[in-house]
Structure 1
Amino acid sequence: MSALDGAVRLPDGSRVRGRGLRNPAPAGPVPDFGLYLGSGRLRRRHEETLRWPHEWIEWPDFLLPRDTALTVRHIRALHGRAQAGEAVEVACGGGVGRTGTVLACLAVLAGLDPADAVAWTREHHHPRAVETPWQRRWVARFPVT
């Protein structure tokens, strides 16, 4: 399947779309897989509209994921799907902080130095991506191996 509308090209050439669930769904094809970040409330609000394979990570707004090890596994798996050419997306409520944090981690997995990942994400996804100091630290410490 071709890349999703609005997908960014990671440094390794793979593509991932980042978006906010509170915004209208983008035009075009639906994802092959989605990774969604949020609380139970956000999940309940949007679950029935996500009609493709997906996973949820419990990740409160402006904070960090509840389960770091599980989140790292999900981000690595999402990167693997993107590298395999699947049409994938990551989304939270607004599409900026949590989504930007995951996109920055994906950029690190794609070969970018962690010190440059937040700036790269702000340039390619959203100027305010990775909103909080603790999200920036999380990206800087994201385990590549």
Structure 2
Amino acid sequence: MADDELAAIRKARLEQLKAQGGGGGGGAGGGDQAQRHNHLRFRSANLIRPAAEQRQSILNQILERGAADRLGRIRLVNEQRATEVENRLIMLARQGALKSAVTEEQLKDLLNAVAETREEEKIVVSRRKGWDDDDDDLLDL
């Protein structure tokens, strides 16, 4: 039944895209090109959406509520780190390394492990003494 609904939605969307494409096929084929572009954009969105939904479904299954909330807060601050942690969690789940849902404490440990393996950027400030350094004037007195 869900497949029938999905097919109906796709058919309705295709009809909508055809209507947006210009209808009559007039001119130098600009309507056909726009229709192909819209169709490709729609198709790529359909491919991306299920992957994101599948990813979210896996995370919902393997994370306890507290851990999921913490990961959401981390995503607000540092999206790259949250994605790294999610990738590691999904990898562990696919390998069968997770025996139960991940708690908030386990998520903290995983965050620390990711932080340790990740090379931190360091900013080094080197100051040069210049010819206009006022401190040198005090030594001459």
Please indicate the TM-score interval, normalised by the length of the shorter structure.
under 0.3
Higher strand proportion? 1
- Please, what TM-score do these two structures have when normalized by structure 1? 0.21
- Answer with 1 or 2: which has the greater Rg: 2
Higher helix proportion? 2
- Please, what TM-score do these two structures have when normalized by structure 2? 0.21
